[in-house]
Amino acid sequence: MSTYHAPLTDIRFALHDVLQVESLFSTLGFDDANRETVDAVLDECTRLCEGVLAPLNRIGDVQGVRFDKATGAVTTPDGFKAAYDQFVEGGWTGISAPTEFGGMNMPHAIGICLEEMIDAANLAWSNFPLLSHGAVNALHHHGEAWQKEVFLKPLIAGTWTGTMCLTEPQCGTDLGLLKTRAEPAGDETYAITGTKIFITAGEHDLTDNIVHLVLARLPDAPEGSRGISLFVVPKIRVARDGTVGERNAVRCGAVEHKMGIHGSATCVMNFDGAQGYLVGQPHKGLMAMFTMMNTARLGVGVQGLGLATRAYENALRYARERLQSRALSGPKLPSKPADPILVQPDVRRMLLTCKALTEGGRLLAYHAGSLVDSAAHAGDAPARQEADDLLGFLTPIVKGCLTEWGNECTSHALQCFGGHGYIAEHGMEQLARDARITTLYEGTTGIQALDLMGRKTLQLKGAGLRVFLGMIEGFCTEHATDAALAEFIGPLREKAGEWQALTRAIVERASADPEEIGAAAHDYLFFSGYVALAYWWARSVAVADASSRSETFKAGKRETARFYFSRILPRTLTHAAVIASGPAPLLSITDEALDS
């Protein structure tokens, strides 16, 4: 069975040494988020993850959720409810939520760290509270005062959970095809009718009430995505004064049978004239839902990071223990019948790939979390706008790259186990199965690529990219004469120049042929992700060298950075070459010829 031990040393290095969050939090007005408090929160979350959630991971996979077709009830795996009750009792549901509604108002950057540990400990369980955070954000930004008072407090307290109801059988990404209807009932409520699919935590036994945020069309709605409104539809009816009434006309019609995250309830939800309230302005629901969706996308990116970290931890342990064959240069452990597989270059290649992508990815994700805080709380409007521009640019990179790297790393880790990786008892195949979904929900990798290329780069004229390139240039200039960093500064500056030139070339070609956008998007996403990680690895080495940490720790950072720059960063060459080939290799073949 796979185990989980939170990588607190690297988490603290990322937060305190590299991102220097204590100073940032003080500047942003989070006076209580000092280093001592942050470390105490991390320690307590570690105990919860290692002692309560991680032991339930295998149980959830084996048992899955149970669905009663007659009643529509969903029962979670053994131990899930008790763990959730403990989670609520500890106040974890409101860790980053506003204090006026019962939250602790800790920075979002700390919430990201906690999410990583919880996801790594038990991804399926983590999905139940995941979308409550998104529901809180959507209602906090777009809800009426009474909706905030009535719905936010129990969501933040964890006594209710939230969902996001977008997808329907005939529409996934293209929400313009949405059919769910909202009919005014004449009493400031609406009757919601329609079917939603793939609804995470749509029904369960962890709480009495579930708050569904539902996209639907009003009778006078225009066609397409411009005619979508957002409604809050609780499982148990709730009056405007907060009084809880009878069961609403919303019911789980089925649960999906999935290749992974078996302990997470993925539901078909049927709304049959269910009572709901309009959130925000009519026909402006998509904008409100994106507030929730962007929160969820960062969260899912962190899921990929968490799974990759757990997979690496277990593969490294196994590689040290598994005796098999001898090193090519001669025995390393002559007293043993064989050497551990850790001496084999190809095993080290897989392990170092995992280490480089997870530790670099951790900084990418945590930095994005800190931008959420800066975008909301920075002292002046230009600073808030700059943070928001960069956050918008990084969100599809975090979601797209970290989940795909999570998929890659869990595959490498399973491979390190050889045939044993294929055996369920070792737990590695579960991590690989669970990781696969992260590249799909909350927008597939292709959707993230199109968002980065089409919206964040072309429509918004690369505002976020300019901020990131400025960060790279500032770092390279600061360390231009540092001989100890020369092996990283030169290649990083060169790649930043290539990134800028590549972006300009795509934009120019897209003005003549719009197909360039879709043809380049996937490779542009990963080109961007690899250059972003190169920056964080170079910065990690600089910070580690200047720190008081052990020589072993410093050497680990430097050698992993060297591996990254020599073995992973060159992937950008392939991505650039593919982009240069244009859309013709994709579009020149006829649809009929695909069958031949």
Question: How many other CB atoms are found less than 10 A from the CB of residue 424?
Answer: 12
CB 374 within 8 A of CB 29: no
Partners of residue 340 on adjacent β-strands: 323
Contacts (Cβ under 8 Å, ≥6 apart) of 73: 67, 203, 205, 252
Nearest to 157 by CA among 228, 239, 108, 84: 84
End-to-end CA distance of the chain: 46
Q: Which residues of 98-133 are buried (b: 16+ CB within 10 A; e: fewer)?
A: eeebbbbbbbbbbbbbbbbbbbbbbbbbbbbbbbbb
Nearest to 455 by CA among 502, 409, 407, 524: 524
- H helices of 3-107, in order, are 8-12, 21-28, 35-48, 57-63, 80-89
Instruction: State the pairing for strand pair 73-75/66-68.
Output: antiparallel
Partners of residue 230 on adjacent β-strands: 215, 279
Question: How many other CB atoms are found less than 10 A from the CB of residue 220?
Answer: 9
CA dist list (Å): 261 to 49, 415, 436: 17, 21, 10
Question: How many other CB atoms are found less than 10 A from the CB of residue 408?
Answer: 18
Contacts (Cβ under 8 Å, ≥6 apart) of 132: 93, 155, 158, 160, 161, 162
Which residues have a catalytic role annotated? 442
Nearest to 406 by CA among 520, 296, 300, 335: 300
Nearest to 128 by CA among 103, 94, 158, 170: 158
Token pair belonging to 410: 């869990």
CA dist list (Å): 142 to 131, 155, 280, 568: 16, 16, 5, 42
- The SS3 call for residue 381 is helix
